[in-house]
Amino acid sequence: MITEEQINADMRVLQLLSQSFPTAEAASTEIINLQAILNLPKGTEHFMADIHGEHEAFLHILRNASGSIKRKVGEIFAATMSSEEMRELCTLIYYPEKKLEIIKAQEEDMPTFYRQTLKRLIPVCQVVSSKYTRSRVRKALPRAYAYIIEELLHESPSDINKQAYWDAIIESIVETGQSDSFIIAICYVIQRLSVDQLHILGDVFDRGPGAHIIMDTLLERERFDCQWGNHDALWMGAAAGNDACIMNALRLSLRFANMTTLEDGYGINLLPLATFAMDVYRDDPCALFRPKTDMADMRRIQLLSKMHKAVAVLQFKLEGALIDAHPEWAMEDRKVLSFIDFERRTYCVGGASYPLLDANLPTVAPADPYRLTDAEAALVEQLHHSFRVSDKLQQHIKCLLQHGCMYTVCNSNLLFHASVPLNEDGTLREVELLGKRYSGRALMHQIGMIVRSAFTSDTPAPKRQFAKDYFWYLWCGKDSPLFDKSCMTTFERYFVADAATHVEKKGAYYLLRNDPVICDRILDAFEVKGTHRHIINGHVPVHVAQGETPIKADGKLMVIDGGFAEPYHHTTGIAGYTLVYHSRGFELIQHEPFKNTKEAIRLGTDIKSSKQIVEMSGSRLLVRDTDKGEILESQIRELKELLYAYRHGLIK
């Protein structure tokens, strides 16, 4: 019951609210509107992790809404269309412009095709928009066709009184030559409304060729969030000017012969690197650094191999300098160049000596292995400049900062990329940051604040420099929630044959995450509420081919890294997951490898996906059951107070 004391306590809020709703009638109308929204079905959330630059598979899954559009087309037209016709309609919805080009080259009676297609697209759009208010749907409509689409969506051709009206709209679209534009517009509306909220659980970058295309796609979306991954942190560090991060990003791109994102996406000038590598390693085949690719051009492979080795050596030098600058990180054991016996051509660690697979390191001085040569220093400066002045890269990193964080709690789900540092007994591990110790939620928050300070001009210079340096620790530091291993054995994997030196011991989180008690402890630490609550993360590929399941800890934890990147396909046995959370519950969609967009358009092929029901709700979830519902409930309470204040003269 609303009281005058309560009104007085909230008066400042109510006065601000009265500017948006200046009359009792306006407040009442909004209360009615919000009450109605609370009773709509919950919007569909899609969770994707570890995309790793595989833009074609990512875009196709977004376009087909993880197969939900195909299922809806089947439900609507199974009795009236053949499977071939339904497949063609789905392909048109996914790729309207390119599919129309093919159809127009083959179809003799385009007016009939247009009429039939429009009459099929409207019911699909009606179904996918049925979860939303008219206002929300209206905002998703292209301005040029908003009125016409809205009329078609909310009128039925089966209504005898409206049939002529509905048919006349369709006929007018065809006669005025607007069919192509209208079909394209309505297909994109179907795509947009099929996914209400997109959650990216880290690692947009590296391995695949199209990280920049993925980021451009995200820039066009309104409703998405991103939990930063270790590869994202690496590129954020590179954009901030961390030279060790720049070398790591370059090395990974060269390792997979993926120069598209660097050169075409961000305009990074690699000519100085190529010139340097050809000069220093002219007679060195750099066989250990041959990129992982099926490329047939041997001259290009040889060049990439030399460039690969050059940046790897630069990386080890620059990392040594960072380790010296931050003794608090306790990473002296990763000053790998210090453990080389140049006379014996061995690598000496742990009381053992291992022969080097490649001892040709002409730029490394045994007496001072971390000193850059003049040519190296000039090259680092040039590469640093390229990353810093790339407008596209800076725009994409800004997008990650605006839509991203280390973790998110959404609708009783805790989302993060990799781990929460734990002690061996399962308690939250305290990690030192800038002289203070943090754990769990406070640790994640503090890291997020440090990350943002690297890009904030009013941050004091020493703190800003630490933030730039810290990106590299996030990439490979043992207490980093984005890495959480004993070490990153990059040098050993290149230069030492003995696999014993390649071991990267996982942190306690990975050993304990199958325990429901541990998961509950983490959920409690992050204040995640709800009867059915979950941890959702990625980072470590699920080895489906070996019988591993992504559902862990009695359903409390879902690991959705299924290996989007092609190099992981042989390891995981699949090509990625999408976790879908709709009004009926959770479904895990398992995807097989996606060949290419051209084939999907030409032949109407789709990603083969299989569905696993993870958790279904006994009753359909409504907006009132979500975080958004809580916000709307609080807004309704405030509006009711405003209405009381109007009616009792407390606000005029």
Whole-Å CA distances, 353 to 288, 471, 501: 20, 32, 11
Average pLDDT over residues 410-425: 95
Whole-Å CA distances, 248 to 231, 496, 609: 10, 19, 34
CB contact at 8 A, 202 and 418: yes
Q: Report d(CA 509, CA 554) in Å as an integer.
A: 16
Whole-Å CA distances, 544 to 201, 563, 568: 19, 10, 11
**Hey, what are 598's tokens?**
């051209």
Which of 124, 122, 153 has the alpha carbon at shortest distance from 137? 153
Domain residue extents for the chain: 4-40+626-647, 229-389+472-490
DSSP string, 260-290: HIIIIIT----HHHHHHHHHHTTT---GGG-
Least confident of 76-90, 261-275, 329-343: 76-90
CB contact at 8 A, 426 and 508: yes
Average pLDDT over residues 213-217: 95
* DSSP-based three-state secondary structure for 557: strand
Whole-Å CA distances, 307 to 97, 197, 275, 297, 380: 40, 41, 9, 16, 13
Average pLDDT, the chain: 90
* Residue bearing tokens 């725009």: 395
Average pLDDT over residues 530-543: 87
Task: Say whether pLDDT at 223 is over 70.
Answer: yes
Q: What is the pLDDT of residue 312?
A: 97
**Hey, what are 458's tokens?**
């009013």
Task: Say whether pLDDT at 216 is over 60.
Answer: yes
Its pTM stands at: 0.90
Q: pLDDT digits over 606-635, tens only?
A: 656 666 767 777 788 999 999 999 999 999
Top-confidence residue, 5 or 524: 524
CB contact at 8 A, 460 and 454: no
What is the radius of gyration, based on Cα positions, of the chain?
Answer: 28
Q: pLDDT digits over 290-347, tens only?
A: 998 887 788 999 999 999 999 999 999 999 999 999 999 999 999 999 999 999 999 9
H, E, C per residue of 209-247: CCHHHHHHHHHCCCCEEEECCHHHHHHHHHHHCCHHHHH
Average pLDDT over residues 46-65: 89
CB contact at 8 A, 540 and 557: no
Angle subtended by helix axes 68-77 and 179-194, to nearest 10: 110
Which run of H or E residues covers position 346? strand 346-349
